[in-house]
Amino acid sequence: MSSSEKRFIYADNAATTRISADVLDAMMPYLTTEYGNPSSIYALGRNSGFAIEEARAKVAKAIGAKPGEIFFTSCGSESDNWAIKGTLARLAPKGKRHVVTSVFEHHALLHTVQNCGYDYTLVEVDEQGLIDPQKVKAAIREDTAIVSIMFANNEIGTIQPIAEIGKICHEAGVIFHTDAVQAIGNVEIDVNEMNIDMLSLSGHKIHAPKGVGALFCRRSMIPKNLIDGGGQEGAHRAGTENVAGIVALGRAIELATADIPKKVARVSKLRDKLIGNILKIEHTRLNGDPVQRLCGNVNISFEGVEGESLLLSLDNEGICASSGSACTSGSLDPSHVLLSIGLTHEVAHGSLRLSISEDTSGEDVDYILEKIPPVISRLRAMSPLWERIKAAEK
Amino acid sequence: MLYSDKVLDHFSNPRNVGEIPDADGVGEVGNAKCGDIMKMYLKINGGVIEDVKFKTFGCGAAIATSSMATEMVKGHTIEEALSLTNKAVVEALDGLPTSKIHCSVLAEQAIKAALSDYYKKQGIDPEPIVGNIGECEACHDL
């Protein structure tokens, strides 16, 4: 294969996304001329207030909810924290002091549950990264306050049977929350059809800026406040609104959910081309389910290679990606997600996540596929672990 | 991870990568579970390290510290190599992020492990000379 000119390829859309020009245009007035505080009585303030309500309606429409069920927050993590902590604070006095979640949730959920001081059960996932709804059912107790299962996993992209899990929760009379930060714009979501009571989402994963998120919550289940103060968001979430961010989120979610089947059809084709071709390299494995998978997610382990050096090598080729290796997580252990689906530490250290988007072109995919094999060969050639793997084969 | 230009250079263009088939001393430290293994090969003649090669499975810092450590001992005496500290390797690389200091410890240990092997092959007990090389002790410090 002839070597092409160095390009810049952003393949880390599960980490964050580019702010789209359309979204930037929509939010710009609220960073410049429309700076009024939405709580103010005069026209300048009212303009901001109207803009927020317009955005609220857009977010609601995107997931089949009512505007009154949408509360703006600062990010997905805040939404997760609020849903769990606020629900426990509300229901613990009524004897509901237990949470059911899964072992491979995002840390925003997992650490919240582990640190909140209440009882919890972590449901295991299978080797493909799928959750069996019956296991959720078995984990629900008399005193369960809330079940929280992520819609789609951020690392390996598996999409869970959310409607079925929601049905089980409702039959048991338990609140069902889902972290849909990765799913929004990639999966069609209807909170009513899918039996969802609470849902966390974030702007910066769908081409809005960082610093804005939302929690969908049924009116009868609003958690106790996480942030007290003024009367913003119906007195449920204090703090002067991030007007520009909220407007951006409204526009971004409108764009992201406009034609999901079309996006999924196009992007999953590119994803499958990446997966099929990368798996031709020996001693590799796909992490996560091949079918029940986010359209932009590729997660592959390369035996004998360490993830961070793989990322640095790809960065040298202009490719931005991420890994579940310990070195990139800042801890000794590799990703809890990869360990939860049964990978050994050795194999988990050598994982690569590429997350492509509607911005990714066929040429981008070809470029990535041209650059990965020599990078892997180079790192394996200097790896004593690879030497051992090859020696064991003989 | 904020790496210095020197670390990135040694990662992208590592010096002395490879093996020495007839090495006089070979040392391997670290383990796959922790995510880094370093293997050093030494060719020693008249108390001088004439050649050195390494192979490393690990992060950018692991590869860069291996590369720098080989440069710092090549052409030097055994005594000089034994006095190489992880701190000197870090300084030569214009610093390392705190979470990566253990990589420099591994590089120092890898050189010492190879020298221990050299002494063992000579029928000399290496411990009084090289000292006791901890088994992946950096991992336990984290």
Q: Do A198 and A83 touch, CB atoms closer than 8 A? A: yes
B17: which chain A residues are within 8 Å (Cβ-Cβ)? 381-382
A381: which chain B residues are within 8 Å (Cβ-Cβ)? 17
Q: How is residue A314 written in tokens?
A: 């790809």
Give the tens place of pLDDT for each residue, A212-238: 999 999 999 999 999 999 999 999 999
Name the helix (H) or strand (E) containing A273: helix A260-278
> Three-class SS of residue A387?
helix
Q: What confidence score (pLDDT) does residue B138 get?
A: 45
Give the tens place of pLDDT for each residue, B110-125: 999 999 999 999 999 9
B141 has pLDDT over 60: no
Q: Can you tell me the mean pLDDT for B17-26?
A: 97
More confident residue, A146 or A331: A146
Phi/psi for A16 (5° steps) reads -165, 170
The Cα A269–Cα A18 span in angstroms is 22
Q: How is residue B84 written in tokens?
A: 């190489």
Q: What confidence score (pLDDT) does residue B142 get?
A: 38
Question: Running DSSP on this structure, what letter comes out for residue A158?
Answer: B
Q: Can you tell me the mean pLDDT for A26-51?
A: 98
Q: What confidence score (pLDDT) does residue A311 get?
A: 96
Q: Note the ipTM here.
A: 0.93
The Cα B49–Cα B47 span in angstroms is 7
Task: Tell me if A76 is assigned to a ligand binding site.
Answer: yes
Name the helix (H) or strand (E) containing A198: strand A198-202
Q: Do A37 and A259 touch, CB atoms closer than 8 A? A: no
Distance from CA of B87 to the nearest CA of A (A): 20
Residue with token string 């040298």: A316
Query: pTM for the whole thing?
Result: 0.94
Q: Can you tell me the mean pLDDT for A382-387?
A: 96
Give the tens place of pLDDT for each residue, B43-89: 999 999 999 999 999 999 999 999 999 999 999 999 999 999 999 99
The closest CB to that of A385, out of B3, B12, B37, belongs to B37
DSSP per-residue string spanning A18-83: PPPHHHHHHHGGGGTT----TT-SSHHHHHHHHHHHHHHHHHHHHTT--GGGEEEES-HHHHHHII
Q: Do A214 and A252 touch, CB atoms closer than 8 A? A: no
Ordered strands of the A297-302 beta sheet:
A284-286, A297-302, A351-355
Q: What confidence score (pLDDT) does residue B116 get?
A: 97
Q: How is residue A247 written in tokens?
A: 């407007």
More confident residue, A16 or A329: A16
Helix segments in A279-344, DSSP class H: 307-316, 326-329, 336-340
A202 has pLDDT over 60: yes
Q: Do A10 and A18 touch, CB atoms closer than 8 A? A: yes
